[in-house]
Copies of this chain bind each other. A is one copy, B any other.
Amino acid sequence: MPARRFSKDIIETVSIDCLIFGFRNSELDILLIKHGEGISKGRWALPGGWIRFNESIDDAATRLLTSLTGVSNVFLEQLRAFAEVDRYPGKRVITIAYFALINADNYSLSAGFTASDARWFKLHEIPRLPYDHNKILKTGFQYLQHKVRHEPIGFNLLPKKFTLHQILKLYEAILETELDKPNFRRKLLKMNLLVPCDEKQRDVSHRAANFYRFDKKIYKQLKESGFTFQL
């Protein structure tokens, strides 16, 4: 009989759940995994797990994200705790939700991983999820909508080099509105956060767009001198 390790290693009252956003084909995606065991076996849900005694919650979130999806080095920050009394069946479990943005370069998470157990879902095609995961998702999406307007975090959803068209489509998808192309360009470029790359689009059947990259250092400098990102 195997030793019952769990109750020694982990904090059984607190879990982590990751809300992982991706962006492809001008649509926002959410990564879900199929539960292999436990109460909600066979159902799609947010990737998550337990916190170990010897790791912080940030470390736990990073570890879980990597072990469940294969990606690392992505934008990851805490959303908040969810703790309705009856959110988890049978026992009292508080979960701390994390918020991750995955860029297109990291999109092929299934490579090497159990592809059938982790899948991107379009934001508006998310099924009914167990526990309070739909609530977490809703909260996280509203947070994204707000945050993307006040901080330059949207770039985390794009490849390192991207076109202005891609950002426009990203913002349209997140904010669920149409935006004026020339005006959006002008405003974004005037911030001087984007550095033009010496490279253009290829294999497109029209004028090739220039690539840009977001420069963290420049943003840090601007912020220190009083600049606030605003779209």
For the complex, count residues of A whose C-beta is within 8 A of B: 24
Contact B230 A14 (CB under 8 A): no
Instruction: For A94, give the chain B residue with the smallest CB separation.
Output: B14
Q: A30–B230 Cα gap in the complex (Å)? A: 30
Q: A14–B57 Cα gap in the complex (Å)? A: 13
Contact B83 A56 (CB under 8 A): yes
Contact A57 B78 (CB under 8 A): no
Number of copies: 2
Instruction: For A177, give the chain B residue with the smallest CB separation.
Output: B226
* A58 CB to nearest chain B CB (Å): 8
Is A53 part of the binding interface, using a Cβ–Cβ cutoff of 8 Å? yes
Instruction: For A228, give the chain B residue with the smallest CB separation.
Output: B149
Is A80 part of the binding interface, using a Cβ–Cβ cutoff of 8 Å? yes
* With A13-B13, A14-B13: A54-B85 Cβ-Cβ less than 8 Å: yes
* With A80-B78, A80-B80: A94-B55 Cβ-Cβ less than 8 Å: no
Contact B14 A85 (CB under 8 A): no
Is A20 part of the binding interface, using a Cβ–Cβ cutoff of 8 Å? no
Instruction: For A146, give the chain B residue with the smallest CB separation.
Output: B150
